[in-house]
A and B are shown apart, each in its own frame.
Chain A
Amino acid sequence: MTHPLHIGFIPLVDAAALIVAVDKGFTAAEGLDVTLVREVSWSNVRDKLNIGLFDAAHLLAPVAIASSLGLGHVKVPIAAPFNLGLNGNAITVSPALHAAIMAELDGDRYDPMATALALSRVVATRRKSGAEPLTFGMTFPFSTHNYQLRFWMAAGGVDPDEDVRLVVLPPPYMVDSLANGHVDAFCVGAPWNSVAVDSGVGQILHFVSDILVRAAEKVLAVRQSWSDKNPQVVAALVRAAFRAAEFIEQPQNRAEAARMLAEPDRIGVDAGVIQRTLDGRLKISPDGTMRESSRYLLVARQDAARPDPVQAAWLYAQMVRWGQTSFSPEALQTAKAVFRPDLYDAALGQEGKGADAAETIGAFAGPPFDANDIGAHLAAFAIGRRIS
């Protein structure tokens, strides 16, 4: 018996495991008849998942948590049985801002503390001269991009709510907005950083993996109620996504995967750009400078696909730090329970378990993150917007 499923996604490279699962036939092999629906906004993906027009979705991890907590919108408990990727975002800045940061840089250009401190000097100089505050684009209020930008700049003393402007921009508008000066920088997933570099309007300042060793990015999200009623379907979907993720991680399959993802009804950008992202080998400057990272985007390796509740706790801590919600121990438990390693293990057994990752978060600033002591995490940072 085949199960017809509608699954929503946003055209980004971190939807790779989902898209390849369908287009390479891994879902069909599990008896699932999946229709992928390309969407234009995270709000749409969230709403269509919430009201049942989608059975599952490629979703920003913080949106899954916010939806379960009822923050900003209707409260619908979400389960995330599969992590569609760790890391994968980058911070891209305009050539002018890049030059300004480099002129103030005291240290390694890939050291996020050095660049954050340089940014704070740039911000101070601009304020003295009466210039407009710098504007940073990110994809959604409840997004990893928002928290990663904030974490980075605040570590250097830049208050993201006072010293600069943070604005939401849909990913396809990022590059144009940087080109026309609407924003000075942005944090977004692939392929948009590379598109900005290729078109000569931006420089990649950081891979997000400079800021956090492991950061949950997108999850495969289902409604918790639906998951409870359809455990076999969830397991089949997890297995198919896992096979696809393993397929993508084999270097000899990357070109084929990139071609599938490049199709116009999928991500719809050049396959070469997509493959650079999967390989973690990116052009970071219009002058042709390349940079390679083994942690740029983790799809399956280093246990990346197994949901880690510590990641959910970290994201919840950022919501509290920046005043999107007030802290409560119950809400922390709800947030952690969104990430479902139990469903992942039920689907894959021993097969899904890779080598244990040494670091759970691995942030460049502050003490190691303890999911059971959010208070200590928040107390470690001077800048924040905690609601008491």
Chain B
Amino acid sequence: MDALPERESPMGADQSPKIVIVDESPIRAAILEEGLREAGFTGVVHISEMQSLLARIYALDPDVILIDLENPSRDILEQMFQVSRAVRRPIAMFVDQSDAASIQASVDAGVSAYIVDGLKKERVKPILDLCISRFNAFAKLQGELDRAKSALEDRKVIDRAKGILMKLKGLTEDEAYVLLRSTAMREKKKIGEIAQSILTASELLK
């Protein structure tokens, strides 16, 4: 499923290079696409379906292809270097090796770019820089979401542990929580960990 409808910008209608984003994450692709459009790159197409990937790319004939590094289909793109019948041969980003820092930054961010031969480097650089910053922003967002999820999980576990303590030891909810917290402090562990061990123990003793 494509998150956004594909738009074919007519060739030569504007000077903006045609960019294809290959990403199975619709949210990340949308963040990237939005950033590119804001920066004035109007010809952006998102491909989220990996079936017949090469055929679709050939049909779109992009100047720049951006792909996330979690995508096994990256190896499929490497085949483009080999195909002599493709009129315009794409090359890997900065194959002239003049910009090791950019390669490092993009791999760190989790994105790779393929650029059609002949496209000027100074036109590619802003695209890649934007791409790196958006990928990093997405990773940060994802990290925050994961932390929020795990905090929520912890709270559920703590609530269940409190329930067990209240039932077994006849404590109020506040007393149960104080007991969890003081145990955690004494054992230098997180409250969530103590709560989890209570849950595990109670499962075992059932």
Contact = CB atoms under 8 A, between A and B. Distances in A.
State the 9 A-B residue pairs at the shortest beta-carbon distance, nearest first: A170-B72, A168-B79, A41-B74, A40-B72, A43-B74, A41-B75, A141-B82, A72-B81, A168-B76
A323 B107 CA distance: 29
B76 A169 contact: yes
B67 to A, nearest CB: 9
Bin the interface of chain B by size: 20 to 34
Contacts of B112: 43, 47
Contact of B76 (A44, A47, A170): A170
Given A51-B104, A173-B72, A74 B92 contact: yes
A350 B176 CA distance: 66
Interface of B: 50-51, 54, 69-79, 81-82, 84, 92, 94-95, 97, 100, 103-104, 107-108, 112
11 contacts: A40-B72, A41-B69, A42-B75, A47-B107, A72-B92, A74-B103, A141-B81, A167-B54, A167-B79, A173-B50, A323-B84
A139 B76 CA distance: 8
A73 interface: yes
A53 interface: yes
Contacts of B103: 47, 51, 74
A141 B83 CA distance: 10
Interface residues of A, number: 25
Contact of B82 (A139, A169, A324): A324
A69 to B, nearest CB: 13
Contact of A51 (B69, B74, B75, B100): B100
B108 to A, nearest CB: 8
User: Which has the most chain A C-beta neighbours within 10 Å: B69, B78, B97, B107?
Assistant: B78
Contacts of B81: 72, 141
Contacts of B95: 73-74
Nearest to A43: B74
A273 to B, nearest CB: 20
B100 A44 contact: no
Contacts of B50: 173
B78 A43 contact: yes
Contacts of A41: 69, 71-75
A265 to B, nearest CB: 16
A339 interface: no
Interface string A64-75: 000000001111
Interface in A42-68: 42-44, 47-48, 51, 53
A151 interface: no
Contacts of B82: 72, 141, 324
